[in-house]
Amino acid sequence: MSKIGKKIILIPKEVNLSINADSFDVKGPFGSKKINIDTKLFEVNISKNNELSIKPKRKSDDIKKMWGMNRSLLNNTVIGVNKGFVKTLEMTGVGYKAAIKGNSLNLQLGYSHGTDFEIPKDVKISVEKQTIIKISGLDKQLVGMIASKIKSFRPPEPYKGKGIKEKGEYVIRKEGKKK
């Protein structure tokens, strides 16, 4: 039995869920999203109390693995259209700053030139201070992927901690040279 797959998903009052063959249309205050789930393998039930449950029609090792994943995808979609997902990135370093120019994020990361990152249409990026970038959207995977891509431009280095990291991320520091 899948521990995650057995959990029930509570659907908030603001979220509307409609089932069309293999696809689920989820609409909420932050937008709408369509998710595909194989109804040949899984049975999806919505109770009167706005509780969503997913159960496999037959049990095998492969289906048990997909059971928890499909439940998590449904849950993330419901949370995304209701509240959205946010990642906060912090930039540490002398002269490191970010600015939004049109539809791109301009990053000054200590190189001789600035780095431009094109902002996708499904994600909202805002610069609170010059060194704090906030990424928000209703798709958890896309928000995490964009944050990872921005972090890859200048990952934090272990000696001084300069670079781009997520808020709350701990960078393992190394001791410098000794005389």
Rounded to 10 degrees, the C-alpha dihedral 175/148/133/143 comes to -150
Amino acid at 60: S
**DSSP-assigned beta bridge partners for residue 117:** 105
Residue 99: predicted pLDDT:
92
Pairwise CA distance, residues 62 & 59, whole Å:
8
Pairwise CA distance, residues 53 & 28, whole Å:
19
Report residue 74: phi and psi, to 5°.
Answer: -65, -45
Q: Compute the Cα dihedral for 23, 38, 86, 118 and give only its sign.
A: negative
pTM: 0.83
Residue 147: predicted pLDDT:
93
Q: What is the pLDDT along the chain (179 residues), one digit of tens a residue?
A: 567 777 888 888 888 888 887 788 888 888 888 888 887 888 887 888 888 888 888 888 888 888 888 888 889 998 899 889 999 999 988 889 999 988 999 999 888 888 899 999 889 999 988 899 999 998 899 999 999 999 999 999 899 889 999 998 888 888 888 88
- Provide the total of helices (H) and of strands (E) in the chain, helices listed first: 2, 13
* DSSP letters spanning 30-83: TEEEEEE--TTTEEEEE-TTSEEEEEESS--HHHHHHHHHHHHHHHHHHHHHHT
